[in-house]
Structure 1
């Protein structure tokens, strides 16, 4: 997996608090919420690069069979991933509503 870029982001404390509450409501970390919002804004503006991978999934990675390479596991995950890693069943990036 490619190394993810690290950045320093300075925010007004009230903006950070609002983001943290919103992230908690959607069961995301604050960092994941910021990335989600940036990706959505880029997509809405038609500026999201086509080769951008989906958001990393939460939780433990799937178990691999003995001798299976990282590339084999990634292609198997991509084949079974019908929503493009967008989050919800309708691909809008929102978690399913109860």
Structure 2
């Protein structure tokens, strides 16, 4: 299992609230949901291969 890179993330509180609710709806943690959204965006932009 690969070790994940940790770093601080400063985010607008209103956006965090949206992400928190969205993550709950998808049965994910906020961290996991942010990683999911970033991964999907990188794939769509053809910057990350499957």
Identify the TM-score tier after normalising by the shorter chain: over 0.9
Taking structure 2 as the reference length, the TM-score comes to 0.92
Structure 2, unpaired ranges of 5+: none
Higher Rg of the two aligned structures: 1
Question: Residue in 2 aligned with 1:12?
Answer: 12
Structure 1, unpaired ranges of 5+: 51-98
The aligned length equals 50
1:3 to partner: Cα distance: 1.2
Taking structure 1 as the reference length, the TM-score comes to 0.49
Moved over 6 A (4+): none
Q: CA RMSD in A?
A: 1.0
**Which protein is richer in helix relative to its size?**
2
